[in-house]
Structure 1
Amino acid sequence: MAEQRSLPVPEGLEGERLDAALSRLFGFSRTRAAELIVAGDVLVDGSLAAKSDRVHGGAWLEVTLPPPPVAPMPVAEPIPGMKIVYEDDDIVVVNKPIGVAAHPTTGWTGQTVIGGLLGTGHRVSTSGAAERQGIVHRLDANTTGAMVVAKSEHAYSHLKRAFKERTVEKHYHALVQGHPDPSRGTVDAPIDRHPSGDGRWAVVAGGKDSITHYDTIEAFRAASLLDVKLETGRTHQIRVHMSALHHPCVGDLMYGADPTLSARLGITRQWLHAVSLAFEHPSTGEWITFTTEYPEDLSHALKVLGGES
């Protein structure tokens, strides 16, 4: 059911465009705000307005918000390229392949880790929203590597808390353009949605605290292989932070990677792999570590670079 919201424009938004003001007030993108305005779902002092109109403090906004989209349920189907790294009664650790999302979301029609596990007869926790049961953390669809899924309710609660309290150790390998200086460092820069509303994220003042530690493993002529440790787990965090340093992940065209280099290395997505995951076992309390191998496309890119250096 649609939701009606009525409120005055805060004085701090005096002079802002209507679409920008709505974005800041309700937390959705300017693109979504513009869609609502064009659809006639936004009134300013009782009248329809254009997205470029400037708002005035104290003006009365009436907004009709559509019901939130319902995420699709996972489709149970085996994923041949998804390898089980470890499994017991509490957890299952997979090496997630390229092009597979963690769980279904609105707009994603491809394969998911949850669907792949269900499709091969694995049990997952029933905790969490129906479309992402058992999911305690996520990887981007085109980021490969280690991912743990909870099978028991106890494991779900334990691991959700561990990720929230940042006691899980997550290491990634990232191939970035150029050579970061210094070769080892920390990026401490807040991240939020990109102001353009185009689906990207960015370093934004007032965003969520985001901390990335990196260390150079090997420097090639045109790129550097980094070991990256995440202290926080924001969406696209490594990709955004490396781009902010002007060393985007090779192949990551969304965040400014050179398409010529990407093509030469045969990379069609960001060169980013979750190489290891370590945490306290939910039942035994033992500290356990899992590592995963690079997929073929990432290994091939390194071989090409190695041959050029």
Structure 2
Amino acid sequence: MPLSSFTIRDSENRKQSVEILHEDAHLLAVNKPPGLAVIPDHWDPEIPNLQALLEQKYEKLSGETGKPVKTVWVAHRIDADTSGVVLFARSAEMHRELNLLFEDGQVRKTYLAVTRGRPPAAEGAIELPLQPHPTRPQFMQVHKQGKPSLTHYRVAETFKHYALLEISPQTGRTHQIRVHLKEIRCPLAIDPLYGSGRPIDLSLFKRDYVKKDPFEENRPLISRLTLHAWRLQFRDPFAGEERTFEAPPPKDFTALLKALRRWDAA
């Protein structure tokens, strides 16, 4: 259960809930909703982002200058359209420690992914080097001169033409999960960059589906990346104990799974 939550509007002006999963003097764990960037946009810093919202929430003014004092540090990032657990440091000391943990691969990350198609085996590893594409900005590609990249996966459920995977990236390259899944011909069910960007609605599961109002717009079950940052595990350098933070998937992700299960049972 979250400790607390607050409501924001994302980049498309939709109401979203940001849940605080853990908070202490050094560490903050947040369940980020989809559609919200972790850090300010390079081209438009006014677009809502989680870092700015948390800085506002935990704002503290200096007793000497009256100016804001830094109270939140970004420890890592996930894509704006990916939901789930994100860690922030509440002190400069913790920020340094978390950076080291992530760099050394000491933070165990588990994602949930709904894919189009199934992997070649029930579980396995994808080890393919990645680098930025030379002519397509924000696009990553497999290349022999890229950085070593390793992703473990396990099939949790299978459906007609789709699958639910548990993904554990061992390295933290940009778009690593998305590119690796594409390379084994099992892309995310929705991924505008590396697969199909088409939203998923009820017409996919019901051949005879007819809207009650023919003039009403289709309401998709989900229209963003079918990827959720489910769990983070690491040893807290200040508390000296193992930490496990889990974020339940949001409504759009669970609605998709519910529809897939019904479709599979039909």
> How big is the shift at 1:119?
2.4
Counting aligned pairs with the same residue, the percent is: 33
3-state SS in 2 of match to 1:253 = coil
- Give the CA RMSD over aligned residues: 2.3
Distance, in Å, in 2 between the alignment partners of 1:142 and 1:288 is 25
Match of residue 236, structure 2, among 272, 278, 281: 281
3-state SS in 1 of match to 2:148 = coil
Distance, in Å, in 2 between the alignment partners of 1:217 and 1:280 is 26
* Structure-1 residue corresponding to 2:102: 163
TM-score, length-normalised on structure 1? Answer: 0.69
Matched, 1:204 2:143: yes
Matched, 1:96 2:32: yes
Task: Spell out, residue by residue over 1:101-121, the C-alpha distance to the aligned partner (whole angstroms, 9 max, x if none).
Answer: 111131244221111112222
Distance, in Å, in 1 between the alignment partners of 2:103 and 2:27 is 18
Task: Spell out, residue by residue over 1:198-237, the C-alpha distance to the aligned partner (whole angstroms, 9 max, x if none).
Answer: 4211112211111000000000112110000010011111
**Farther-moved stretch of structure 1 (198-207 vs 272-281):** 198-207
Matched, 1:116 2:53: yes
Distance, in Å, in 2 between the alignment partners of 1:152 and 1:260 is 40
Higher relative CO (CA 8 A, sep ≥ 6), structure 1 or 2?
A: 2
* Structure-2 residue corresponding to 1:86: 22
Matched, 1:235 2:171: no
Distance 1:92 1:223, change over 3 A: same
Q: Which runs of 5+ in 1 are unaligned?
A: 1-76, 124-129
Question: Residue 172 of structure 1 contacts residue 274 of structure 1 at CA under 8 Å; is this kept in 2?
Answer: yes
Distance, in Å, in 2 between the alignment partners of 1:135 and 1:281 is 16
Distance 1:261 1:297, change over 3 A: closer
> How big is the shift at 1:195?
3.3
3-state SS in 2 of match to 1:297 = helix
TM-score, length-normalised on structure 2? Answer: 0.79
> How big is the shift at 1:288?
0.7
Distance 1:115 1:303, change over 3 A: same
Matched, 1:271 2:226: yes
Residues paired across the two proteins, number: 227
Distance, in Å, in 1 between the alignment partners of 2:188 and 2:171 is 19
Task: Spell out, residue by residue over 1:130-160, the C-alpha distance to the aligned partner (whole angstroms, 9 max, x if none).
Answer: 9996111100011110011000111111100
Matched, 1:297 2:252: yes
* Structure-1 residue corresponding to 2:216: none
3-state SS in 1 of match to 2:124 = strand
Question: Residue 78 of structure 1 contacts residue 115 of structure 1 at CA under 8 Å; is this kept in 2?
Answer: no
Distance, in Å, in 1 between the alignment partners of 2:155 and 2:172 is 21
The structure with the largest helix share of the pair is 1
**Which of structures 1 and 2 has the bigger CA Rg?**
1
Letter in 1 for 2:35: G
Distance, in Å, in 2 between the alignment partners of 1:131 and 1:213 is 36
